[in-house]
Structure 1
Amino acid sequence: MWEQLGKFILKNRFVLLVVMIVVTALFAVWGSKVEQGYEYTKAIPIDHPVNIALQEFKKKYGEDGNVIVLGVQTDAFFSEKFFNQYVALHDDLRKITGVIDIIGIPGAVNIIKDATSSQLQAKRIFPSLPLSQQQIDNSAAIFQNLPFYKGLIYNPETQAYLMGLNMDPTVINSKKRDDVVAAITHRIQQFEQNTGVEVKLSGLPYIRTVLAARIANEMRYFLIASLVLSAVILILFFRSVSAMLLSLGVVIIGVVFSVGTMHLLGYKITLLTALIPPLIVVIGIPNCIYFLNKYHTSWQKQAELGNDIPVQQKKKNAIVDMVSRMGIVTLFCNVAAAIGFAVFALTKSAILKEFGIVAGLNITLLFFISLILIPIVLYFLPPPKNRHVRYLDNPCLNRWLDRLERWSLSHRKLIYTLTAVLAIIAVAGTFRLQSNAYMVDDVPKTDRIYTDLKFFEKNFKGVMPLEILIDTKKKYGVTRNFSNLTKIDSFAQYLAARPEMARPLSLVEGLKFARQAFYEGDSNNYAMPSELDLPGLSQYVNMRNNSAEISSEGENTFGKLINRFMDSARQEARLSVNMADIGTNKLPELLTDIQKRADELFPADQYNVSLTGSSIAFLEGGRFIINGLKESIFWAFLLIALCMLYLFKSLRILLCSLIPNVIPLIITAGIMGWAGVPLKPSTVLIFSVALGIAIDITIRFLVNYKQELTYHHHDVKSTVIQTIHSTGISIIYTSMVLIAGFVIFCFSGFGGTKALGWLTSLTLVTATITNLILLPALLISLSGRKKQ
């Protein structure tokens, strides 16, 4: 079959070449339309309870993670020069498209009681520019007398000040956000130049925008780097520019197909899908090496037949032999690699599903690209010269292959003992593995994204939003039952006392603010009102429907900040709190403690208390991805095993094939445990990927072994020796390409991509060793005298 396919490809070379060019052009057009992903990718499915709760919350109260925060730290904040610059920054940022409003000191309001009507009114504290030093001092004294803002937008102990930019979701989740963030950072840079004070930037919209831009840049960098590295390795191996260009042509077409596929499927470039183009290069080059290696081997045999056969016919025979011998091998190798990626499509996580579908589909397409393009181009190229095939007799590699032969034949007990010892140590390390992830743990700790986030955690307890909803199960249950308000205040105090959480915002904080105003602005009266105080503060409670009584300026700053902390029926109260990025390991314990305290204050038979927000979604998303990846490893292992069983039709060979690939995965997991590398989405991903790629080496070795077995009269030892020498060089070369290709990812600015690089490279190094030493030993030991 494969021999006939080789002849068919050469016979119809012009038609196939034209079809390949036309299809590649179409995919190039589609690929040029692929877009960067701007929406926050959901790790959990749409129908997941956590996601449903979050979406319902957003419909009722708006976005919980759409604030960009700016922070400064200076003891000269209320000086005339600095404060006027700060107010100008506040006013300029407010004019930027996409900024809905700003919470900050320049726009802060005070609630005062009208002397004649005794009505509460909200008025801006700081007047418009320019402000004299006396105006600033007078306004600052009023501001600092308002406990409401303490810990919310300023920290008097550390002299840190915060400004929060509430962003328009329709802008921040579109490609316009790059321009918006660029405009914000440009204005901030001007402020820094004018004042000499550094501005800290954080918040989910800002972090996502910066990371998305880095993803796009890294994709281009890694793609170019992988192509250049592959070109260098190919030149060193084959000493042939044509072979190098042919191989690069194959993988470049594969990259075009992969990007075009993203557009056709309606996917966008994300942190994971951005890895696919360089992965296509890394996985595609070994295809080319194996095809070219077999072509050169076949050409040498054809060249030894003498001059009776025309050179073109010899070349044709070599190409057909290449296809007939390597077609089935390469097909199953690509299928195995594709399975390692495609199993991610079985998970319910959107980000993993997209990655699995695009990667699995295009690795399979890569086989057909190689199968069609390589034979046709080789047919048009001149036959190989002596320097092109000299690598087949590399003395250094042959000496190493001789050593491998001796180890497999004479030191099998030592091989098994060392393997068992390493496996035991590795298994012990796996028990030390822990699952933990942070919101920004993919960036270095010296990165500004990380250091700025820590600034806000140190001075304002963090920026990760947590939302708590308390349903009283009764209409007007929040405002007409004083005990409910006292319970909410008690719960808020419990949250504020926790070191990893800021002071929560809720209805009761507004009541405290209003009570202070009601008692002539005395800060000592910033406290939970008594039941007797409530009639006088009822105006505040009704402020949602009575905003005409306060200035529009005050409504924008105070009303929007406070009055969204209960629903329209006043049945449900909301507590909004920012917290530190404590990691997925500690977050469940924290949430359990919060829920326990909530259940004590709000019995389940009378109230419904639910925790939601981006922090919960982040935690559940990390768990969901890790569990999905664990399942994908099982399915990858099972599907690859079935492919191997179908290919070799021997349980004995199936066992021999799986052991050398399981051992590297165990060793990698053990090293992660002993080195303290946590299990998180980026590191669990490695195992399925490495298994799919490493099995490639096993398939090539065993297929060659099966093909040679009949020629050696089923003499297993002779066949193993021949297989080591006939496939060893190409296995070592392709392993070097794969390892070097994944090492490129070690230069990533993202911790997850970096881990993918060095851990996958480690697994592939171990897999190469086990497949060239342990696999031959197993074949000899398990064969006995039985025929394979």
Structure 2
Amino acid sequence: MSKFLGFEFWNTVARTILRNRILILLLITACTIFLGFQWKNMKFSYTEANLLPDDDPINLQYQEFLDKFGEEGNLIVLAVQDSALFTPQNFVAWNRLAEKLDDFPEVEFTVGVRNLQKLQKFEDPGRFEMVPFLQDTTPTLQQVEAYRQELFEKLPFYEGLVYSRHSNTVQTAVYLDKEIVNTGKRKRFVVEELIPTIEEFEQARGLNVYVSGMPYIRTLNSQNIIDEIGLFIGAALLITSLIFFFFFRSIRATVISMITVIVGVMWAFGVLGLLHYEITVLTAIIPPLIIVIGIPNCIFLINKYQQEIQKHGNQAKSLQRVITKVGNATLLTNLTTASGFATFILTESTLLKEFGIVASINILAIFILSLLIIPIIYSYMNVPRDKHLKHLNKRWINGFVDWMERMVRHHRISIFIISIVLLVASIIGIYKINISGSLLEDMPQNAGFFKDIEFFEEEFDGVMPLEILIDTQREKGVMKLSTLRRMDELQSLLEEEEQLSPPVSIVNLVKYAKQAYYNGNPDYYQLPTSQEQTFILPYAQSLESSGDNLLTTFVDSTGQYARMTTFMKDIGTQEMEEIEEDLWPKINEIFPEDRFNIEMTGKALIFQKGTTYLVKNLIISLSLAIFLIALLMAWMFRSVKMILVSLIPNLLPLLVTAGMMGYLGVPIKPSTILVFSIAFGISVDDTIHFLAKYRQELKASGWKVKRSVYAALRETGVSMFYTSIVLFFGFSVFMISSFGGTVALGGLVSATLLFAMLSNLLLLPALLLSLQKEIANKDVLREPAINIIPGEDENGEAEEEEASKM
């Protein structure tokens, strides 16, 4: 392989590129058009991020639950907390709002004051019947007040469903058609029909309507993701172009670079469409990521071109050297960056796997585009004038390099002491890190819908559905009084948990049947006795509301399985694990495991379990990235000792970042888990450039270590500084996001890359100087597998000959 990555190979590549410029540009255009047509296949995710593998037992349990009871997240709730609602005009308008929503084909049914049904006992003949709660559609003020008192004081069955026990809050439950919940029709209904209808009501009546429920939250959350893609791309292009122009002071160099990365962004969208992957909160960051990673490629290529022009002024020779010298090093650095992302492919999480595939493909694609577009465009342009080359001799950047050299030359002990102190402090900080699996934590907390979530958490004790599936292991076992009593005991147990809302199940329905039997007296809202069950339970089985059998909401068709639904507050993984640990022994005591099978499931629980799964896989993923890059280092330098020297400056920044997370209270969660593999894959690029130049200088200087280290520091320090600054500000773009996870990702990667730059420019040379006897000899640094940066003497004549042919 070294044969193909040596000078001859890259010389052939350069000759092919520069001799077939028009054909290559046509091919790039054709590929861009083809991938542009794939954009139509892009679709946005309409489901929550499922971080668990498809065959994970938790996922299988959830699928079993859906098979029996259908989609759980089809409920949207509207609420008003205002005494003005209980005036005749507003009361009627509120009921008409529910009626209007009920008419939409996307809505299966609504449950609210408008269509509330009461179970009523009749004497002649003796029977139960459902009767409307509202007797008059245009009530007087006295009637409205009577309705309010009856609702809040005499109908405990509807507590949490139609009204809140905390205050005079009234809500309407809107159940969407389960077939459209995970499709684009849900988004169209919420954005184009639901929200305008609610806004019309608010403006007409002067009342504030709070809206929540998973379909609503998911729709607005995904809309925020869509809106931020354009924001990220625009911000990334703006900030990277400004930094690029500041360094190069050349409009045409800036424009060429922007053209390159814009084509890369178009390819990124095309790859997403070609693979039919959904755009999620992770894949949405890939296009701006390509800009941030692509610009350093442009910096290396254009910087080298201008350096060559400054040396000899021969354009053909300069372009030839850009490809042969920088192409090799840039390929390897892009391979290491892609490796950091590619490790996600080996996880069993579909979300991370798709992110890893698309990111790694497009990182290699932006390398190819940079290598092709930049030399070809420059070949059609005039040779850069002196004003374009002034940046190569900036005083301030030379002052920065002088400072680095002074530190390495005179303060190596200080560098080592600071590194050890940082290491110890980081390890202490790591032990302070918490794990968070909150589904709502990373949502935009300044958004209006998030304020509504907070309202419902306060009024209704949570918005995240948590389901308990009860298998009685025999048909019609649910409706046995002994089973109902066990379920009632479990509900009492769950009500004791402050983080959970009062659960709802068939038990509530049976209690309501007994209350109705005793003429609606709320004191009898309880399970029937053994004597009462024979004449009350049959009525409960036929209880209907709004023409829909409520029994099927809580019990499957065989009567063997029952569901118990509670809602969970926005708590993290650790707190949920503590609740589970406390509940399961008590649940198993209530429901003996030899007679009942109890499962806890729901979207919130799946997300939290997925976070735990990812944390466990983080070590595997990061270890794999380190292992792959260590192998690459060993192969490039043919030295095991060089692996240790190259990894230390890149592992320390990761530990420092992890320690910062502990001290700053930033938890480990799906978004921050990505930081380490991404940052490691990118930061190791600087190490490759430095060590490659270091080995070249060693050979040229006759194995004089000090001279070689300082020469490599001066030669590569400027490019490393430029690219690190671009990466720092480029990833900082993500901090403008309204998603907490994206903000954390951008800030942590930026900080890690800044630490990595300083580590590679100070700690790495200090290690090379201090360990010169162990590694700076011909036995350790033998002829490398490839010459990453070929020396002038290695290919100068050949280049002259090739350049003369062009």
Give the TM-score of the pair, scaled to structure 1: 0.94
Q: What aligned pairs does 1:506-545 form with structure 2 within 5 A after superposition?
A: 506-543=505-542
Aligned to 2:182: 173
Aligned with 1:259 (options 262, 269, 273): 269
What are the superposed Cα offsets for residues 179-226 of structure 1, whole Å, 9 maximum, x if unpaired? Answer: 211221111112212222211111111111111111111110110111
Answer with 245-254 or 29-38: which moved more: 29-38
Aligned to 1:489: 488
1:70 aligned to 2:69? no
C-alpha distance in 1 between matches for 2:43 and 2:590: 49
What are the superposed Cα offsets for residues 5-34 of structure 1, whole Å, 9 maximum, x if unpaired? Answer: 212211222222221121121112213542
Aligned to 1:242: 252
* Per-residue deviation, 1:774: 0.9
**Do the aligned residues in 2 keep the contact of 1:467 with 1:577 (CA within 8 Å)?**
yes
* Per-residue deviation, 1:150: 2.5
* Per-residue deviation, 1:624: 2.0
What are the superposed Cα offsets for residues 246-265 of structure 1, whole Å, 9 maximum, x if unpaired? Answer: 11111111111111111111
Q: What aligned pairs does 1:10-49 form with structure 2 within 5 A after superposition?
A: 10-49=18-57
Amino acid at match of 2:302: L
Aligned to 1:688: 677
Answer with 166-175 or 456-465: which moved more: 166-175
Amino acid at match of 1:485: L
Q: What aligned pairs does 1:552-567 form with structure 2 within 5 A after superposition?
A: 554-556=546-548, 559-560=549-550, 562-567=551-556
* Per-residue deviation, 1:73: 0.7
Amino acid at match of 2:298: C
Amino acid at match of 1:490: E
Amino acid at match of 1:638: F
Question: Match of 1:170, SS?
Answer: coil
Aligned to 2:784: none
C-alpha distance in 1 between matches for 2:443 and 2:278: 22
Aligned with 1:227 (options 195, 217, 237): 237
Question: Match of 1:107, SS?
Answer: coil
C-alpha distance in 2 between matches for 1:289 and 1:461: 54
C-alpha distance in 2 between matches for 1:136 and 1:650: 85
Aligned to 2:748: 759
C-alpha distance in 2 between matches for 1:430 and 1:579: 29
* Per-residue deviation, 1:141: 4.3
1:440 aligned to 2:450? no
Q: What aligned pairs does 1:357-756 form with structure 2 within 5 A after superposition?
A: 357-479=357-479, 481-543=480-542, 554-556=546-548, 559-560=549-550, 562-756=551-745
Question: Match of 1:576, SS?
Answer: strand
**Do the aligned residues in 1 keep the contact of 2:439 with 2:604 (CA within 8 Å)?**
no
**Do the aligned residues in 2 keep the contact of 1:515 with 1:529 (CA within 8 Å)?**
yes
**Do the aligned residues in 1 keep the contact of 2:513 with 2:537 (CA within 8 Å)?**
no
1:155 aligned to 2:164? yes
* Per-residue deviation, 1:473: 1.8
Aligned to 2:799: none
C-alpha distance in 2 between matches for 1:122 and 1:336: 69
C-alpha distance in 1 between matches for 2:547 and 2:321: 80
Amino acid at match of 1:486: R
**Do the aligned residues in 2 keep the contact of 1:152 with 1:503 (CA within 8 Å)?**
no
Aligned to 1:273: 283
**Do the aligned residues in 1 keep the contact of 2:439 with 2:608 (CA within 8 Å)?**
no
* Per-residue deviation, 1:567: 2.2
**Do the aligned residues in 2 keep the contact of 1:102 with 1:166 (CA within 8 Å)?**
yes
**Do the aligned residues in 1 keep the contact of 2:35 with 2:271 (CA within 8 Å)?**
yes
Gaps of 5+ in 2: 1-8, 782-806
Aligned to 1:100: 108
**Do the aligned residues in 1 keep the contact of 2:724 with 2:757 (CA within 8 Å)?**
yes
**Do the aligned residues in 2 keep the contact of 1:441 with 1:751 (CA within 8 Å)?**
yes
Question: Match of 2:459, SS?
Answer: helix
1:206 aligned to 2:197? no
Structure 1 runs of 4+ off > 6 angstroms?
Answer: none
C-alpha distance in 1 between matches for 2:618 and 2:612: 10
Question: Match of 1:169, SS?
Answer: coil
C-alpha distance in 2 between matches for 1:554 and 1:722: 82
**Do the aligned residues in 2 keep the contact of 1:348 with 1:628 (CA within 8 Å)?**
no
C-alpha distance in 1 between matches for 2:335 and 2:24: 23
**Do the aligned residues in 2 keep the contact of 1:344 with 1:629 (CA within 8 Å)?**
no
Gaps of 5+ in 1: 304-313
Question: Match of 1:155, SS?
Answer: coil
What are the superposed Cα offsets for residues 447-502 of structure 1, whole Å, 9 maximum, x if unpaired? Answer: 333322121121111121111122222222222x4222211111112212322222
Aligned to 2:798: none
C-alpha distance in 2 between matches for 1:351 and 1:691: 21
Aligned to 1:290: 300
Amino acid at match of 1:169: K
What are the superposed Cα offsets for residues 657-678 of structure 1, whole Å, 9 maximum, x if unpaired? Answer: 1111111101000111111111
What are the superposed Cα offsets for residues 484-533 of structure 1, whole Å, 9 maximum, x if unpaired? Answer: 22111111122123222222212221111111111122121111100111
* Per-residue deviation, 1:775: 1.0
What are the superposed Cα offsets for residues 718-776 of structure 1, whole Å, 9 maximum, x if unpaired? Answer: 11111111111111111111111011111110001101111111111111111111111
**Do the aligned residues in 2 keep the contact of 1:123 with 1:554 (CA within 8 Å)?**
no
Aligned residues: 767
C-alpha distance in 2 between matches for 1:31 and 1:528: 58
Amino acid at match of 2:258: L
The 3 A distance-change label for structure 1 pair 416 and 444 is same
Question: Match of 1:154, SS?
Answer: coil
C-alpha distance in 1 between matches for 2:404 and 2:449: 49
Aligned with 1:196 (options 193, 201, 206): 206
**Do the aligned residues in 1 keep the contact of 2:439 with 2:570 (CA within 8 Å)?**
yes
Give RMSD over aligned pairs. Answer: 1.7
* Per-residue deviation, 1:541: 4.2
C-alpha distance in 2 between matches for 1:385 and 1:128: 87
C-alpha distance in 2 between matches for 1:468 and 1:201: 25
Aligned to 1:119: 127
Amino acid at match of 1:483: S
C-alpha distance in 1 between matches for 2:134 and 2:88: 13
Aligned to 1:308: none
C-alpha distance in 2 between matches for 1:139 and 1:322: 82
The 3 A distance-change label for structure 1 pair 737 and 21 is same
What are the superposed Cα offsets for residues 335-384 of structure 1, whole Å, 9 maximum, x if unpaired? Answer: 01101111111111111111000001110111111122222112111111
C-alpha distance in 2 between matches for 1:439 and 1:446: 16
Answer with 71-80 or 324-333: which moved more: 71-80
Percent identity at matched positions?
Answer: 37
Question: Match of 2:771, SS?
Answer: helix
C-alpha distance in 2 between matches for 1:491 and 1:436: 27
* Per-residue deviation, 1:641: 1.2
* Per-residue deviation, 1:683: 0.9
The 3 A distance-change label for structure 1 pair 66 and 229 is same
* Per-residue deviation, 1:569: 2.2
C-alpha distance in 2 between matches for 1:643 and 1:511: 68
Question: Match of 2:649, SS?
Answer: helix
**Do the aligned residues in 2 keep the contact of 1:295 with 1:322 (CA within 8 Å)?**
yes
**Do the aligned residues in 2 keep the contact of 1:237 with 1:391 (CA within 8 Å)?**
yes
**Do the aligned residues in 2 keep the contact of 1:122 with 1:554 (CA within 8 Å)?**
no
C-alpha distance in 2 between matches for 1:475 and 1:127: 40
Amino acid at match of 1:166: Y
Aligned to 1:311: none
The 3 A distance-change label for structure 1 pair 574 and 175 is closer
* Per-residue deviation, 1:128: 6.1
Question: Match of 2:130, SS?
Answer: strand
* Per-residue deviation, 1:239: 2.0
